[in-house]
Amino acid sequence: MSPGMRVGLALPQLGPYVDARTVRGFAERAEELGFGHLFAQQHLFYPHEVVSGYSARPGVAVPTAYRSVLQPLELLAAVAGWTTDILVGTSILVAGYHRPVDLAQRITTLDVLSGGRTVFGFSVGWSDEEHDQYDVDPRTRGRRADELIDALKACWGPDPVSHEGEFFTIPPADVDPKPLQRPHPPLMSGMRSAAGLRRTAEKFDWWNPASGTLEQHLATMEQLTAMRPDGLAPLRMCWNLFTDPPVVVANLRPLSVDELCAQVADAAAAGVDAVSVDANFDPGIESVDDWLAVPDRLAPLLDAARR
């Protein structure tokens, strides 16, 4: 068993019942109960005419929860100020929506002001409509993600920083301050394509899968370990689970607390480093008070991780 497996939660972020009271009460109670992290995701808006399909699945509608979305870095800044010890981070940021110097400084600001308790996940995204808002060709999203991570790491390295690439140019400059966590906050990949897995093995500290079974993820972790360059620390895994999944896909269905406990216990026994549970798509949440009850409802998962 993995004795220190971390169990974390996705922050209230989507839908009509999310406000300051919701987020603060949820975050403070999650920390009080002993959850290990609070994560936020990134989406921009709810397009009425969808070209790309939800989660790169043609013809699948975008979940209605996305009609209202708090943005992740601002959300995490508030949560960092309302909490003391719990990790805060993203699962995930969409690489194509960012430029490196600005994002490096925003991440550094969160890491400094939180006392070095951040982790940041990235993926390439799926929404053509959202990429259009940033004048980014989604067909370049993989190459752009590769370069963004390289440029972020350059910004967090020694001054003067410089970078010259296909998408980004940083002239010789000081980019300060640096993050408290050195050489940078842990970087987490939510990618799962063949190219994304290569990118994960080469550039990231954590892998953050969602849809799929534990057995499938463990098999992929073996592949990632074999692909990992010599000299890098072992890749770690944080498995995303849902109380109710955003769409009906293979191996994703609503799970009771008992079923989630079984999944968490199996992950701990298999040596998984962390799990994260998301209730943002749960149709049973119909008020602020419903959101505030989620940490206590999911508290049995903490015991399951220790069995």
pTM of the model: 0.95
Q: What is the mean pLDDT of each run of 10 residues along the chain (307 residues)?
A: 80 97 98 98 93 81 93 98 98 98 98 98 95 96 97 98 98 98 98 96 97 95 97 97 78 84 97 98 96 98 94
User: Which residues 6+ apart lie within 8 Å of 215 measured at CB?
Assistant: none
Whole-angstrom CA distances from 118 to 37, 128, 255 are 9, 29, 28
Separation CA 38–CA 291 (nearest Å):
14
The CATH H-level superfamily of 6-306 is Luciferase-like domain (3.20.20.30)
Separation CA 131–CA 226 (nearest Å):
33
Name the β-bridge partners of 61: none
Model pLDDT, residue 1: 35
Domain extent listing, the chain: 6-306
Q: Are strands 169-173 and 206-207 parallel, antiparallel or unpaired?
A: unpaired
In degrees and rounded to multiples of 5, residue 274 shows phi and psi of -160, 155
Cβ–Cβ contacts within 10 Å for residue 172, how many? 9
Separation CA 291–CA 59 (nearest Å):
30
Distance of CA 183 to the CA centre of its chain: 20
By C-alpha distance, which of 33, 43, 13, 29 is closest to 300?
33
Name the β-bridge partners of 9: 38, 277
Angle at 262 between CA 216 and CA 223, to 5 degrees: 20
Q: At what angle do helices 100-113 and 72-82 cross, to 10 degrees?
A: 10
Model pLDDT, residue 58: 79
By C-alpha distance, which of 285, 290, 264 is closest to 7?
264
